[in-house]
C-alpha cells in the first residue's frame, strides 16, 4: 500500500502572502484527517520573520482533532524549534538540508556540513523522546542556482543522514525539473545504499512531470509519496518553483496504475475547499489528469471545464 504524506498545510501554505486565519488552518487539517492520508505535515516551528504564515504553528497543533492512525508532523530547524514542537504535541519531526551548497546558503544561511551539525542536538532530543525523524534532501535533482545535481552527491548526503539516525529521507525535486529518467538514475544509485523502506519522494510539478516522476519512483518500490492537495505550494527560496504535485492527481494516477491507496478524493476536494477562498487564482494552474483541477476550482459547475484556469 502506498502511504500519502499530505504536505499542504506546511509546504503548501508557507509561500502564500495572504494571511490565512488560524481557525481556517485548523479546519483544513481536520478535513484532511478524514481523507485517508497517512501523515499530515501540519506546520513548521521556524522563525516568524522568515515564514510569517506559519507563526501560529503551536496554536494549530494544539487545536486540531487528531484522528487515530494519522501522524501529525512538523518541520523544525533547530533546538528551539524542537522544544516548541514537543510542547505542542508533535508526533514526528522533519529536518532539512539540500544537495546544493548555494541553495542551502540562500535557504538557511549554512553550508551542507553546517546544516548536518545543526541536526545533531535535535536528533539527540528526538531519540530520547522516541520521536521519529524525517530528513528532507532538497534540490536532489536540479538546483535553480547550480543546475544539475549529480546522483553521487545525493547518495553521499543520504548515507550521512542515515548514519546520523534519521529514520526517513524525503528525496525532493525542489524546482520541479526532474524527468522520469533522472528519477530512475537516482534510484539506481541510492537504493544499493539506503533501504527503500526508508525513502520517500517529494515532487513539484513545475514542468508537468510530477505524476510521471511519482509513478517512476513507485516502480522502484517507493511506498511513501509526498503531495499537496490542489497542487498548493512553492519554495520561497527557489526561484521558479511552483506547486507540489497535487494529492488528488497522485491518488488518481496510483489507483489507475493498480496501486493500493486508501485516500478518498472527494474528501480531499472538500478539504481544499476550506482553504481555496484565501488563495490567489495562480493556484489554479494546468488541469491535472482527467480534469481533477476542475474538481478543486470554485468556478466548476459540475458539468464541464469553464476554461478560466486551463
Residues involved in catalysis? 235
Please report where in the chains the cell 495572504 appears, as a residue. 18
Interior angle at CA 279, CA 275 and CA 285, nearest 5 = 110
Main-chain dihedrals φ then ψ at residue 92, nearest 5 degrees: -150, 145
CA dihedral (245, 248, 253, 259) in degrees, to 10, reads 110
Give the whole-angstrom CA distance, residue 296 versus residue 270.
Answer: 8
Distances (CA, A) of 114 to 96, 108, 120, 144: 12, 10, 10, 21
Instruction: State the chain's maximal CA–CA distance in angstroms.
Output: 54
Amino acid at each position: 500500500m502506498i502511504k500519502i504524506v499530505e504536505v499542504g498545510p506546511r509546504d503548501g501554505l508557507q509561500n502564500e502572502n495572504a494571511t490565512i486565519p488560524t481557525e481556517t488552518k485548523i479546519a483544513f487539517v481536520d478535513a484532511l484527517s478524514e481523507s485517508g492520508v497517512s501523515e499530515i505535515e501540519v506546520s513548521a516551528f521556524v522563525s516568524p520573520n522568515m515564514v510569517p504564515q506559519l507563526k501560529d504553528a503551536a496554536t494549530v497543533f494544539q487545536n486540531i482533532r487528531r484522528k487515530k492512525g494519522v501522524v501529525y508532523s512538523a518541520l523544525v530547524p533547530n533546538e528551539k524549534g524542537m522544544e516548541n514542537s514537543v510542547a505542542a504535541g508533535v508526533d514526528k519531526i522533519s529536518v532539512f538540508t539540500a544537495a546544493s551548497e548555494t541553495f542551502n546558503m540562500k535557504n538557511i544561511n549554512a553550508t551542507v556540513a553546517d546544516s548536518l551539525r545543526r541536526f545533531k542536538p535535535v536528533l539527540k532530543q528526538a531519540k530520547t523522546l522516541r520521536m521519529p525523524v524525517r530528513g528532507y534532501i532538497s534540490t536532489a535533482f536540479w538546483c535553480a542556482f547550480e543546475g544539475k545535481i549529480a546522483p553521487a552527491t545525493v547518495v553521499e548526503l543520504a548515507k550521512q543522514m542515515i548514519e546520523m539516525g534519521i529514520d526517513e529521507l524525503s528525496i525532493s525535486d525542489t524546482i520541479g525539473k526532474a524527468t522520469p529518467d533522472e528519477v530512475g538514475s537516482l534510484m539506481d544509485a541510492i537504493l544499493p545504499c539506503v533501504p527503500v523502506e526508508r525513502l520517500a519522494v517529494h515532487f513539484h510539478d513545475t514542468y508537468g512531470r510530477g505524476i510521471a516522476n511519482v509513478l517512476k519512483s513507485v516502480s522502484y518500490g517507493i511506498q511513501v509519496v509526498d503531495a499537496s492537495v490542489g497542487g498548493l505550494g512553492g519554495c520561497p527560496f527557489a526561484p521558479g518553483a511552483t506547486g507540489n504535485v497535487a494529492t488528488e492527481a497522485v491518488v488518481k494516477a496510483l489507483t489507475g496504475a493498480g496501486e493500493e491507496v486508501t485516500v478518498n478524493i472527494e474528501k480531499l476536494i472538500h478539504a481544499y475547499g476550506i482553504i481555496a477562498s484565501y488563495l490567489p487564482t495562480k493556484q489554479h494552474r494546468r488541469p491535472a489528469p482527467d480534469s481533477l483541477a476542475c474538481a478543486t476550482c470554485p468556478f466548476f459547475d459540475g458539468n464541464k471545464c469553464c476554461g478560466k484556469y486551463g
